[in-house]
């Protein structure tokens, strides 16, 4: 058994990279990919833990791409932490995330919510900061009842605290990944907000750009909702 799509506290996961690797080993997995959002920061710690346990670790990340409908995430696998075209671009994306977080907190404070950027950074534990960390702080402070409510009321696309950020076009992301010796996987394809022939057409377009694979199972999908 393997898992090629996992997140740690280097982005929006719940376990630090070492704990994630140990959990995978205890669950009987023979290999996992660490695919944190827009960062390779958790790989050194995860690699050390995996080597100690005899677990194969596939280095990677998950990239948000710009599309005209829904959301598009590409999981990039076999992306080493050394310098490369995509690795270098990730630094730019991370700066975009940082700017976005500042603006989100500013909007929430203007809406009368008692939240600070320092609180969000502490909640992220030194990892890549994103909207889930903002939502977690809102919940912890009793400003919303749940993470879902934080998104539904404030952080989802179209809500007052939603702030756009720089994203790669799918073609650019695929090209950069290939130039870095990696492969690309379309993550949770139903997030593209398309079904049937419409979804087939988008996947065919991505395939023409060089997409290597697509997920067909995802934890949030029911058994009958796959593409």
Residue 97 sits in a domain of what CATH number?
1.10.150.650
Q: Does 117 fall in a domain?
A: yes
**pLDDT value at position 227?**
54
Q: Does 129 fall in a domain?
A: yes
CA angle at 106 for the pair 103 and 111, rounded to the nearest 5°: 130
**pLDDT value at position 222?**
64
**pLDDT value at position 109?**
96
**pLDDT value at position 224?**
62
pLDDT of the chain, 227 residues: tens digit per residue: 999 999 998 888 889 999 999 999 999 999 999 999 989 989 999 999 999 999 999 999 999 999 988 899 999 999 976 779 999 888 888 888 888 899 999 999 999 999 999 999 998 877 778 898 999 999 999 999 999 999 999 999 889 999 888 789 999 999 999 999 999 999 999 999 999 999 999 999 999 999 999 998 766 666 666 55
DSSP 213: E
User: Could you tell me the two tokens for 3?
Assistant: 């898992």
Tell if the pTM clears 0.75, that is, is over it: yes
Q: What is the residue range of 120's domain?
A: 90-155
Q: Does 216 fall in a domain?
A: no
Q: Does 24 fall in a domain?
A: no
Q: Does 98 fall in a domain?
A: yes
Count the domains in the chain.
Answer: 1
User: Could you tell me the two tokens for 172?
Assistant: 């650019």
What does the alpha-carbon distance between residue 120 and residue 110 come to, in Å, rounded to a whole number? 16
Q: Does 103 fall in a domain?
A: yes
User: Could you tell me the two tokens for 83?
Assistant: 């310098």
Q: Does 141 fall in a domain?
A: yes
DSSP 70: S
**pLDDT value at position 86?**
94
What does the alpha-carbon distance between residue 36 and residue 146 come to, in Å, rounded to a whole number? 23
What is the end-to-end Cα distance of the chain in Å, rounded?
A: 22
- Please name the residue that has the structure tokens 């080597």: 51
**pLDDT value at position 82?**
73
Q: Does 113 fall in a domain?
A: yes
What does the alpha-carbon distance between residue 33 and residue 56 come to, in Å, rounded to a whole number? 8
What does the alpha-carbon distance between residue 17 and residue 49 come to, in Å, rounded to a whole number? 8
């Amino acid at each position: 058994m393997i898992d090629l799509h996992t997140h740690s506290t280097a982005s929006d996961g719940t376990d630090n990279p070492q704990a994630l690797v140990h959990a995978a080993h205890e669950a009987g997995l023979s290999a996992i990919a660490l695919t944190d959002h827009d960062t390779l920061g958790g790989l050194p710690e995860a690699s050390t833990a995996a080597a100690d346990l005899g677990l194969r670790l596939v280095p990677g990340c998950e990239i948000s791409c710009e599309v005209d409908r829904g959301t598009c995430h590409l999981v990039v696998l076999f992306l080493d932490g050394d310098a490369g075209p995509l690795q270098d671009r990730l630094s730019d994306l991370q700066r975009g995330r940082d700017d976005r977080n500042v603006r989100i907190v500013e909007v929430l404070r203007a809406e009368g919510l008692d939240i600070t950027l320092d609180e969000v950074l502490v909640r992220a534990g030194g990892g890549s900061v994103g909207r889930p960390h903002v939502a977690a702080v809102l919940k912890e402070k009793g400003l919303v009842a749940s993470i879902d409510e934080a998104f539904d009321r404030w952080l989802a696309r179209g809500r007052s605290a939603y702030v756009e950020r720089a994203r790669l076009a799918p073609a650019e992301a695929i090209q950069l990944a290939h130039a870095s010796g990696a492969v690309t996987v379309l993550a949770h394809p139903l997030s593209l907000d398309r079904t049937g022939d419409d979804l087939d057409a988008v996947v065919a377009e991505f395939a023409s750009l060089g997409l290597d694979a697509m997920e067909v199972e995802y934890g949030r999908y029911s058994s009958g909702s796959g593409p």
